[in-house]
């Protein structure tokens, strides 16, 4: 049976490392690293994500504030806040929780963040640094995936890696990071033909699509490492029974919540063939928040001119 990559345990380790480094930062510089988060509107999922980030930052000794703005905030007001945070010397990291309400342009708002404070690593300047192989702030989810590969001793060098999904948030940056580590990388997407054949060639599979059960058991090469980034809510009992046959734990969770969260990978059928696999939930998700804290420390050090 494949090794289960425990994202929760790994995230705990990373958070403890950050806490120690944040304490050392505070002792040396007389202030903690500072992260400010901007949340516009009342989308329930975004509220949960922001609360998790706020709590994790606080526990790790990172100071900061969440700016909660009403859903009808104008573009001018939002940009004015971002410029104010950009100019504030006590703030090292700025994160705008996406997606923004429909009347606001996500990309334009991300572009307004000072790239040196862009702890989500989504500013085009930081995307460019990653593409040319230079240091910079990198997106948190792909950084977490790389950390997971490291954790299971999977060196991408010379291996075939298949990334499903080509978003700027996950697919493209993880492909760049795997390439940097000398993998032979293929990016598959919605127009890719014979997807199963492409997956079968891969020693490393990263699925970031947003479709439950997309990656089938018979697509996986024996021993492949499978990182499942997808987060999908399934509220159909038949589908839950198909995905997790005989799993009382999942059924209990379904009965309690009316739905369960699943990844893009058919976990039950892929696990016996793979060498290592991440669960959903409890896989990539917790590491994403931990890597945000790492990025905040990195931004704080660069801000003060420390390597």
Q: Pick the binder of ligand NAD from 37, 231, 273, 293 (CB under 6 A).
A: 231
The region of 37-45, 121-129, 173-181, 227-235 touching ligand NAD under the rule CB under 6 A is 227-235
Size of the site for ligand NAD (CB under 6 A): 24
Q: How far is the CB of 143 from ligand NAD (least distance, A)?
A: 11
229 contacts ligand NAD (rule: CB under 6 A) = yes
Task: Give Cα separations from 115 to 64, 92, 263 (angstroms).
Answer: 18, 11, 31
The region of 53-61, 80-88, 159-167, 235-243 touching ligand NAD under the rule CB under 6 A is 159-167
Among the listed residues 92, 118, 120, 264, the single catalytic one is 120
Does the annotation mark 53 as catalytic?
A: yes
Q: Pick the binder of ligand NAD from 8, 68, 166, 253 (CB under 6 A).
A: 166
Q: Pick the binder of ligand NAD from 50, 113, 148, 164 (CB under 6 A).
A: 164
Nearer to ligand NAD, 164 or 240 (CB): 164
Does the annotation mark 301 as catalytic?
A: no
Nearer to ligand NAD, 81 or 162 (CB): 162
- Three-state secondary structure along the chain? CCEECCHHHHHHHHHHHHHHHHHHHHHHHCCCCEEEEEEECCCHHHHHHHHHHHHHHHHCCCEEEEEEECCCCCHHHHHHHHHHHHHCCCCCEEEECCCCCCCCCHHHHHHHCCHHHECCCCCHHHHHHHHCCCCCCCCHHHHHHHHHHHHCCCCCCCCEEEEECCCCCCHHHHHHHHHHCCCEEEEECCCCCCHHHHHHCCCEEEECCCCCCCECHHHCCCCCEEEECCCEEECCHHHHHHHCCCCHHHHHHHHHHCCEEECCECHHHHCCCCCEECCCCCCHHHHHHHHHHHHHHHHHHHHCCCC
Strand partners, 233: 261
38 contacts ligand NAD (rule: CB under 6 A) = no
The region of 23-31, 83-91, 161-169, 244-252 touching ligand NAD under the rule CB under 6 A is 161-169
Which residue is listed with tokens 């010397």? 89
CA distance 250 to 255: 9
Q: How far is the CB of 99 from ligand NAD (least distance, A)?
A: 10
Q: How far is the CB of 304 from ligand NAD (least distance, A)?
A: 29
Question: Do residues 86 and 95 touch, judged by C-beta distance below 8 A?
Answer: no
Nearer to ligand NAD, 170 or 183 (CB): 170
210 contacts ligand NAD (rule: CB under 6 A) = yes
Nearer to ligand NAD, 205 or 297 (CB): 205
52 contacts ligand NAD (rule: CB under 6 A) = no
Among the listed residues 92, 97, 117, 172, the single catalytic one is 97
Joined together, the tokens standing for residue 137 give 């702030």
Q: Pick the binder of ligand NAD from 163, 284, 294, 299 (CB under 6 A).
A: 284
Nearer to ligand NAD, 37 or 284 (CB): 284
Does the annotation mark 107 as catalytic?
A: no
Question: Do residues 279 and 1 touch, judged by C-beta distance below 8 A?
Answer: no
Q: Supply the residues annotated as catalytic.
A: 53, 97, 120
The contact set with ligand NAD (CB under 6 A) reads 141, 164-167, 169-171, 188-190, 192, 195, 208-211, 229-232, 284-285, 288
């Amino acid at each position: 049976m494949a090794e289960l990559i425990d994202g929760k345990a790994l995230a705990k380790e990373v958070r403890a490392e950050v806490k120690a480094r944040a304490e050392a930062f505070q002792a040396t510089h007389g202030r903690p690293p500072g992260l400010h988060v901007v949340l516009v509107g009342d989308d329930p999922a975004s509220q949960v994500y922001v609360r998790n980030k706020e709590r994790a930052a606080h526990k790790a000794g990172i100071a900061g504030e969440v700016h909660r703005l009403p859903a009808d905030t104008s573009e001018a007001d939002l940009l004015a806040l971002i410029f104010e945070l950009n100019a504030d010397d006590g703030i090292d990291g700025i994160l705008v929780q996406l997606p923004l309400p429909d009347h606001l342009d996500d990309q334009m708002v991300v572009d307004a963040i000072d790239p040196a404070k862009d702890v989500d690593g989504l500013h085009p300047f930081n995307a460019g640094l990653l593409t040319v192989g230079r240091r910079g702030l990198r997106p948190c989810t792909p950084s977490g995936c790389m950390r997971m590969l490291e954790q299971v001793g999977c060196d991408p060098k010379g291996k075939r890696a298949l990334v499903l999904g080509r978003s700027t948030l996950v697919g493209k940056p993880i492909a760049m990071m795997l390439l940097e580590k000398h993998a032979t990388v293929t990016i598959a997407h919605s127009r890719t033909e014979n997807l199963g054949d492409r997956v079968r060639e891969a020693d490393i599979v990263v699925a970031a699509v947003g479709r439950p059960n997309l990656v089938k058991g018979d697509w996986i090469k024996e021993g492949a490492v499978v990182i499942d980034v997808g987060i999908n809510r399934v509220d159909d009992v038949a589908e839950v029974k198909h995905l997790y046959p005989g799993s009382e734990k999942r059924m209990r969770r379904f009965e309690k919540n009316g739905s369960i969260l699943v990844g893009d990978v058919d976990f039950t059928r892929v696990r016996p063939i793979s060498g290592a696999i991440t669960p959903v939930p409890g896989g990539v998700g917790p590491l994403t928040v931990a890597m945000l804290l790492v990025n905040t420390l990195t931004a704080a050090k660069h801000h003060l001119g420390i390597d």
